[in-house]
Amino acid sequence: NAGVTQTPKFRILKIGQSMTLQCAQDMNHNYMYWYRQDPGMGLKLIYYSVGAGITDKGEVPNGYNVSRSTTEDFPLRLELAAPSQTSVYFCASSYSLGATSNQPQHFGDGTRLSIL
């Protein structure tokens, strides 16, 4: 019963370093999403994907890149880490029964990232 798996769970980066947050789902969901949650705030959408090879920007995409080479994986890359990117990052996935499916998004447990 893995669902959505995020690695690592915690990471500390120095300013200017780069890293990739991994996200994998085993539910054969076609839609995947990346959110960030700043302290005391709700989640904000960074990027999303409607299927392998197709990605698009969300509300706060600056400073991040994504790729989706397979249905299962949706990694998020930070190229030049900045203190403003200190946050908890959540990956989510959902499937569609049709173009207007209302299936809820299933979330991973999050990655807590600190940039110092």
Partner 1 sequence: AQKITQTQPGMFVQEKEAVTLDCTYDTSDQSYGLFWYKQPSSGEMIFLIYQGSYDEQNATEGRYSLNFQKARKSANLVISASQLGDSAMYFCAMRGPFIQGAQKLVFGQGTRLTINP
The residues of the shown chain that bind partner 1, judged by CB under 8 A, are: 30-31, 33, 35, 40-45, 48-50, 54, 56, 58-59, 88, 90, 92, 94, 96, 98-102, 104-110
For partner 1, the closer of residues 85 and 111 by Cβ is 111
For partner 1, the closer of residues 14 and 62 by Cβ is 62
Which of 103, 84, 83, 81 has its CA nearest to residue 93?
103
- Shortest reach from residue 16's CB to partner 1, in Å: 27
Euclidean distance between CA atoms 24 and 75, whole angstroms = 8
